[in-house]
Amino acid sequence: MDALLTAMHLVIYILPSYFANSVPVVLGGGTPVDLGKKMGDGNRIFGDGKTIRGFFAGIAAALLVGSLQAILLPGTSWDIYNGNSASYVFAGLLLGVGTMAGDLVGSFIKRRQGTERGKPSLLLDQLTFFLFALLLSYPVSRHLLSLEAVAFLAVLTYVAHVAANVIAHRLRLKSVPW
């Protein structure tokens, strides 16, 4: 039972990041973050798929999830921040900013590699956002992040990201299933 509760605590912890990563697919669009600018290599900085609206929608979604957790979880067996509601909100914000920054870094690397928009990049697509989310949220969430926990979350994130993209593709929210 301890392992199951620990796994559920980790899912609760990473949930704001998952929402931050998915919401731009639905609420994004509009002006690209890079404003159409290119680097010296002739490729866009991030590309049309990374928009200002999507970036801030992702952060807002993570903050909303963290805020809902702050209302619903303190004092329950699901409480991961020992009753500290502010920690849920702060972690949500950090996870959101980390997720969106990591997504931009992944896109930046793909553009430098010459990978076209919409083309897959094994691991880069699935885990860059996750790693940045962990790094930014570490100050408030370090008590949750043992080596085993990070490994569990990395595998879960990879599987969840692949599954979510396939579902989004089938629902015609994405043009490609990755």
Q: Which domain holds residue 115?
A: 2-170
Whether 87 has a pLDDT exceeding 90, the answer reads yes
Task: Determine phi and psi for 51, rounding to 5 degrees.
Answer: -110, 160
Whether 1 has a pLDDT exceeding 70, the answer reads: no
Residue 152 lies in a domain: yes
The CA–CA distances, whole Å, from 18 to 13, 100, 144, 160 equal 10, 11, 17, 9
Question: Position of tokens 């209302």?
Answer: 71
Question: What is the rounded CA–CA span in Å between residue 146 and residue 152?
Answer: 10
- Per the DSSP assignment, residues forming a β-bridge with 38 are 44
Q: Is residue 20 part of a domain?
A: yes
The pLDDT value recorded for residue 102 is 97
**Position 177 in a domain:** no
| Region 118-147 average pLDDT | 91
Percent of residues, the chain, with pLDDT higher than 90: 81
Does residue 36 fall inside a structural domain?
A: yes
Residue predicted with more confidence, 115 or 32: 32
Contact 116, 152 (CB under 8 A): no
How many domains does one find in the chain? 1
Is 81 within a domain? yes
